[in-house]
Amino acid sequence: MSYAKYMPDLSHGDPADAAAVNALRSAVMRLGRRLKHQRVDESLSPTEMSVLGTLARCGSATPGELARKEHVQPPSMTRIVALLEAKGLVRLEPHPDDRRQKVVSQTETAEAMLEESRRKRNAWLASLAEGLDEDEWAKLRAAAPVLEKLAHL
Amino acid sequence: MSYAKYMPDLSHGDPADAAAVNALRSAVMRLGRRLKHQRVDESLSPTEMSVLGTLARCGSATPGELARKEHVQPPSMTRIVALLEAKGLVRLEPHPDDRRQKVVSQTETAEAMLEESRRKRNAWLASLAEGLDEDEWAKLRAAAPVLEKLAHL
DNA sequence: TATTGTTATACTCTATAACTATA
DNA sequence: TATAGTTATAGAGTATAACAATA
């Protein structure tokens, strides 16, 4: 239940945290695999979906910026952006100040698709909810922003 | 149309939870990619590592059990087990009751390697700790078991 | 010269289908 | 017939290296 009883003043390198990070690592990798299968839109890979999410938050970005944010190499992002463009989900425009760069932004189609995806995700959430109690969900809600921060660190 | 039949418990299907699940999904996928790069042992894939972790917890298992636990198909687990055996990290023995099955267990080498990995993970943890405060870490510790449960649901 | 993005290529991981052997 | 595991093959996704265009 609580590590605090044994570790009242936790430093960040102690065994309790190491155990937590091990659990996190294992769970994140397994959940990642399940998410790949539970994906809401079969025609979009997880990273493509993530790029659309990033564009929805940031408005627009260059391929290089997207590669850094998604932690993939530039050639991989070139391919991902090309696939998204072929599907009509992003638009590519020349960069106003630097002719080497490009500006990627999402289309109205992508916006509509994300809205539709949200409803499908709710259905998946409901099926998971059967196995978790309210306290467990509260813990996930509290940790979600921290996981996001961790992913960006 | 209604999603009511997929959401018998409305408290789990509300917008706040949907937002949390979106955040979780995004963070889990990005963290997964980072973990692939931050991997403690360059010669072991994330799933190979996860299998060793499972064996460390469960003692031993058949290839079929491992495939179900790691959410991969049987042929994938055949390959993973073969790679681990080639590296001297697992041992394969005949199943006592069923000659179709095999029993996979970790070797002493794997045990030593996991101990070494633990130290390396602590170093990675320490570098992350600089970006999180105590409250944030507490939330991660609380959520870790729930994420594990989610991964097994 | 350094940087942004692309092309060409190869690798890793996983899946599906077909097969073998036990049950 | 059904099940556990394997073999053979294909596909998705990513990386590295070499290259082009621009700064």
What does the pLDDT look like over A109-148, one tens digit per residue?
999 888 777 666 666 655 665 688 999 989 988 998 888 8
| Whole-number Cα distances in Å, B130 to A11, B22, B38, B123 | 11, 26, 16, 12
B100 touches strand D (CB under 7 A): yes
User: pLDDT digit of tens for each residue in chain B (153 aa)?
Assistant: 222 222 333 344 455 566 676 677 777 766 766 665 556 677 788 889 889 989 998 999 999 999 999 889 999 999 999 999 999 999 999 999 999 999 999 999 999 888 777 666 666 655 665 688 999 989 988 998 888 787 766
Q: Do A132 and B150 contact (CB within 8 A), yes or no?
A: yes
Residue B39's pLDDT is: 62
Partner-chain residue, chosen from A28, A136, A149, that has the shortest CB–CB distance to B28: A28
With an 8 Å Cβ cutoff, are B8 and A126 in contact?
Answer: yes
pLDDT tens for A60-113 read 999 999 999 988 999 999 999 999 999 999 999 999 999 999 999 999 999 988
- Specify the pTM: 0.69
Q: Which of residues 89-108 of A touch strand C (CB under 7 A)?
A: 95, 98, 100-102
Q: Which residues of A touch B24 (CB under 8 A)?
A: 140, 144, 147
Cα–Cα distance, A23 to A71 (Å, whole number): 22
A42 touches strand C (CB under 7 A): no
Whether residue A5 lies within 8 A of chain B, CB to CB, comes out as no
Whether residue B73 lies within 8 A of chain A, CB to CB, comes out as no
Q: Which residues of B touch A7 (CB under 8 A)?
A: none
Cα–Cα distance, A62 to A53 (Å, whole number): 15
3-state SS, B28-86, equals HHHHHHHHHHCCCCCCCCHHHHHHHHHHHHHCEECHHHHHHHHCCCHHHHHHHHHHHHH
